[in-house]
A and B are shown apart, each in its own frame.
Chain A
Amino acid sequence: MTVLAPPTISRTGQADRGRPRRRRSWTGWAFVGPFMAVFAFVFVAPIAYAIYLSVFRTRLIGGTSFVGLDNYQQVFTDPQFWSGTWRVTLFLLVQVPIMLFLALLVALAIDSGRLYGKAFFRVAVFMPYAVPAVVATLMWGFMYGSRFGLIGNINDAFGVSLPDPLSPDLVLASIGNIVTWEFVGYNMLIFYSALQVVPRSLYEAAELDGASQLQVIRSIKLPAIRGALLIATIFSIIGSFQLFCEPVILQSLAPNAITTYFTPNMYAYSLSFSGQQYNYSATVAIVMGILTMIVAYAVQLRGTRKDR
């Protein structure tokens, strides 16, 4: 999964020259050891513990008992789990392409060198990334609101009644807008960084051949940043499956539109913290993690196959 471009090659060349490394030795472990130790504690151990929990069940009468894969069976037939999973899948199919497409357009526009004040564009579009999801959601939530929000203002000013963004029909789209706002600049920056290392000589050659801007984009720029596109897609997919913050915070504004099982993560959370069903909650978390990895892995396979 490499972006083939001369600077990359010269870079690798540089790394290669450093390759007469010392014999295999344990010295490297002194540096990577601390990371791995903490990693084992906060990544490996919780996963192992979750797997352990997922094969037991606690009942009011009878206490905790080993139930094998019963919890998993329950997850696969649990309509609440599937309704949340379906919702985040829909979210990911609609929101991720829109966000990445916008990010790509802005990155290409900035990279084209035809903008006035491109440095300002680059920084300003990226700024929302530094805003916490909580603040972003509160802000948009207020703006969506009919009390002192912009929607309320517009309704008052023009005597219209716009649909309520926090109604059950629209709330998922409203969340999609918040997430797009938060991450479009971040993805733009990833694409822009990748575009920066495309060798300029390619553009000159294309220009000599009389290629148009669109042809240059299609035949040079997009293939060159495929790696970045793939990484951004995978991160966005993982992010969509994890959707939690935005719906949880909007819940207080739209209690009827957002249920406790709105997303799989919210479901796992409420199972643990309102329902005390720790074993089942751990199972939901594991199943969701596996689903995410399968989808991310499938996208990666598809993306790299096209590379060849």
Chain B
Amino acid sequence: MTTHPHPTTAAAPKPAPTTRTPRKAVRRAHQRRSPLLTALTALMLIYSLVPLVWLVINASKTQEGLFSSFGLWFAGDFSLFQNIRDTLTYDNGVFVRWLLNTVLYVVLGAGGATALATLGGYALAKFDFPGKRGVFAVVIGAVAVPSTALAVPTFLMFSKLGLTNTPWAVIIPSLISPFGLYLMWTFAASAIPGELLEAARVDGAGELRTFIRICVPLLAPGIVTVSLFTMVATWNNYFLPLIMLKDPDWYPLTLGLNAWNDQAATAGGQAIFHLVITGSLLTILPLLAAFLFLQRYWQSGLAAGGVKD
């Protein structure tokens, strides 16, 4: 499985494919596979996968089974489907509500963040404008600002503005991804040949038209990469919704799962560890699927973004 840059890059041949082909040939010529190295690296693989295997196995157990059976093997009764049903219907289907909230935050937050980063990265890579150095310095500085250190002041400000406890309190801060901007900037610098822009301008195409028709297709692998990473950041966000939201009806999945987990510790609360585990499994599946199916995009996007520095 190779990482093809992107079908449309045929229009603008990038250096990556040319360096890659001879290299493969060299590799094949005089390098043998090593079972020892494979076995050693497999230790890391096991470390990475064991918790996920644990999660899948334990999602198939009843609450009693969880306590009475060995963690890395199945209990006698296979109740995965019952658990999924229970997870989705518990407390009037609040899990589904959390899932929809999460989707809302991801679509608007991560989608918006990707759009803003794409536009901004393109501008930084291909335009010369007054204050450009300032923009660059401020944004690079912002990467170093711990986002959680920012969260408390943001909460205080948003509560003054009456935005807390609304979806906007989660969506608006998610719109900015300095890392995404940086990635799009480096990606646009190499993916869009200057001549192409010149040609479009000579032909009298407007800036917006040039951007949408010519640049967006060339930027596609970068856009997929940035949207995957902003999607993970939004889908997995915990701190921001934790401080912004009081009403469980607006919770995303992460907050909801933790509330279920804490339920066992509260007085009179019912322990629902089997639902916490099944819910956790359901929470991670969409992202794992997205990463698996979009591999060739994000891997080439990351490779291009990682080159520059």
Contact = CB atoms under 8 A, between A and B. Distances in A.
Given A7-B16, A244-B239, 4 more contacts: A15-B190, A43-B150, A110-B41, A136-B51
B53 to A, nearest CB: 11
Contacts of B49: 124, 127
A31 B122 contact: yes
Interface stretch (B79-87, B88-96, B216-224, B282-290): B282-290
Contacts of B58: 142
Interface residues of A, number: 120
Interface string A17-35: 1111111111111111011
Contact of B38 (A116, A134, A268, A297): A116
Contacts of B19: 6-7, 197, 199-200
Contact of A1 (B48, B273, B309): B309
Nearest to B288: A130
A285 B181 CA distance: 25
Interface string A93-118: 00000000010011001101111110
Most buried by B among A18, A28, A36: A28
Nearest to B31: A113
A152 B15 CA distance: 54
A38 B176 contact: yes
Interface of B: 1, 14-16, 19-20, 22-23, 26-27, 30-35, 37-38, 40-41, 44-45, 47-49, 51-52, 54-55, 58, 66-67, 70-72, 116-117, 119-120, 122-132, 135, 138-139, 141-150, 152-157, 172-173, 175-176, 181, 189-190, 192-195, 197-198, 201, 207, 211, 232, 235-236, 238-239, 243, 253-255, 257-258, 261-262, 265, 273, 276-277, 280, 283-284, 287-288, 290-292, 295, 299, 302-303, 305-309
30 contacts: A11-B307, A15-B190, A17-B195, A18-B192, A18-B197, A25-B129, A27-B129, A34-B119, A39-B138, A46-B157, A47-B145, A109-B41, A113-B31, A115-B33, A115-B34, A124-B45, A135-B283, A135-B284, A143-B51, A148-B66, A148-B71, A181-B47, A185-B48, A207-B30, A228-B306, A231-B309, A273-B243, A282-B152, A285-B149, A292-B146
A286 to B, nearest CB: 7
Contact of A138 (B52, B173, B243, B276): B276
Contacts of A124: 45, 48-49
A241 B146 contact: yes
Contacts of B288: 127, 130
Nearest to A237: B144
A259 interface: no
Contacts of B38: 114-117
Contact of A288 (B66, B149, B309): B149
Contacts of A292: 144-146, 149
A238 B258 CA distance: 25
Contacts of A227: 309
B153 A252 contact: no
A258 interface: no
A10 interface: yes
Given A18-B194, A193-B302, A204-B26, A143 B71 contact: yes
A35 B184 CA distance: 13
B15 A132 contact: no
Most buried by A among B20, B126, B173: B126
A233 to B, nearest CB: 12
B236 A134 contact: yes
A8 interface: yes
